[in-house]
Amino acid sequence: MANRHKDFNELVAQEFEDLGFSQAYITNLINNEGLSLEEALRESIKSMGLQAFAEKAEISISYVSDFVNKRRNWSTDNLVKYIEQVFGLKIKMSVETPKGEVA
C-alpha cells in the first residue's frame, strides 16, 4: 500500500465500517485474486487499519502487528475465529482429489 496518499488510505479504512464492503473485499482477495486465507486477512487488516481490526477482534494491536508483519502466524482456529468475528464470514474447508472431486 506504499505510495498512496494518506487521505486515500483513510477513505479505504472508512469503507471497512460497512460490513458488506469488508466481506466483499476479503472474499475478492481469496476468490478472484488467488490469495490464501492468511494473506487475504493480512491485506484486509492493512487496508482497514490495525487498530480497527484489533478492536473488532478484541485482541492487542501488537498481536495484530506481529501477524501482519509475518513475525507471528495464527493457527487455523484463530484465522477462522477472527474472520467470523470481524467480517461475519464462515469458513469452509474441503479436500479434493486431483480431478476436483470432493474426497
Q: E strands within 1-103?
A: none
Euclidean distance between CA atoms 29 and 35, whole angstroms: 6
Query: What pLDDT score does 79 carry?
Result: 95
Chain centre distance of CA 39: 7
Instruction: Please give the pLDDT value at position 102.
Output: 61
User: Does residue 83 carry a pLDDT above 90?
Assistant: yes
Check whether 68 has a pLDDT greater than 90: yes
Given a cut of 60, whether residue 72 has pLDDT beyond it is yes
pLDDT in tens, 11-54: 778 899 999 999 999 999 999 999 999 999 999 999 999 999 99
> Is a pLDDT exceeding 70 seen at residue 6?
no
Once rounded to an integer, what is the mean pLDDT over residues 60-89? Answer: 96
Judged by DSSP in three states, 96 sits in: strand
